Amino acid sequence: MIITLIIVAAVLVIFGLLILIGKGDNLIAGYNTASEEERAQYNIKRLRGLIGGLLVALGPMMLLMHDENSMAGTWCFISVSTVLCIIVLILANTWAKKK
């Protein structure tokens, strides 16, 4: 199971870095299917920073779940990732939108 967690964590970090450097805009859910008018409403640099930063942060946090005998790491990851996703969702719809 630890190998699976390491692979998933590495994929999240790689995708996050791709988004941060500007090569993975099509990996941002919703943005890749939005029309040009809808895309024009967002500051893409801020949106990249939010989504890429979230993925880079969640990758290493996944390794907290490696202990099969204890559920504490799993619950810690679930609770922290939920809070982070809610914060990013709010910021993506406020701070990353053009005024």
Question: pLDDT digit of tens for each residue in the chain (99 aa)?
Answer: 789 889 999 999 999 999 999 999 889 988 889 999 999 999 999 999 999 999 999 999 988 877 777 788 888 889 999 999 999 999 999 999 987
The pLDDT, as a whole number, for residue 99 is 75
Say what the pTM is: 0.87
Q: Is residue 99 part of a domain?
A: no
Report the b/e string of 20-51 with b at 16+ CB within 10 A.
Answer: beeebeeebeebeeeeeeeeeebeeeebbbbb
How many structural domains comprise the chain?
1
Q: Is residue 39 part of a domain?
A: yes
Which tens digit of pLDDT belongs to each residue from 38-52? Answer: 999 999 999 999 999
Q: Is residue 47 part of a domain?
A: yes
The boundaries of the domain holding residue 69 are 2-94
Q: Is residue 72 part of a domain?
A: yes
